[in-house]
């Protein structure tokens, strides 16, 4: 069994909201590629949402009705981006320990 430092944090949660991990040595395997693709989509969506937020916040006539759903979507995107950053940070630290 691998220790938690060698597990990849996946970019989605389980049904109960807990983190999901992948244990594999194959970074080119199906699940690793799927996780890479999901992360890329999440980061792309976050970038688009950031553009939208900057546009809404820059508008003189932005109203509360626009800001609430935007804030909700920004919060969800930030959670995704933090999960991706955590996962990639863990992957980097594991990669560094294998090269030492």
> 48-100, pLDDT tens digit by residue?
999 999 988 888 887 878 888 999 999 999 999 999 998 888 666 655 555 55
Residue 2: per-residue pLDDT: 44
Residue 66: per-residue pLDDT: 83
**CA 78 – CA 90 distance, rounded (Å):** 18
Counts for the chain of helices (H) and strands (E), in that order = 2, 2
Find residue 21's DSSP bridge partners: 9
Residue 60: per-residue pLDDT: 82
What is the percent of the chain where pLDDT is above 70?
84
> 23-36, pLDDT tens digit by residue?
988 889 999 999 99
pTM of the entire predicted model: 0.74
**CA 8 – CA 32 distance, rounded (Å):** 9
Residue 38: per-residue pLDDT: 95
């Amino acid at each position: 069994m691998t220790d938690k430092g060698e597990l990849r944090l996946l970019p989605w949660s389980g049904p109960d909201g807990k983190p999901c991990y992948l244990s594999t040595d194959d970074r080119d395997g199906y699940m690793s590629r799927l996780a890479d693709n999901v992360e890329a989509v999440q980061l792309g969506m976050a970038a688009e949402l950031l553009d939208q937020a900057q546009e809404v916040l820059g508008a003189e006539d932005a109203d509360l009705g626009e800001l609430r759903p935007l804030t909700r979507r920004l919060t969800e995107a930030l959670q995704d981006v933090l999960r991706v950053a955590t996962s990639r940070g863990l992957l980097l630290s594991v990669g560094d320990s294998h090269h030492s």
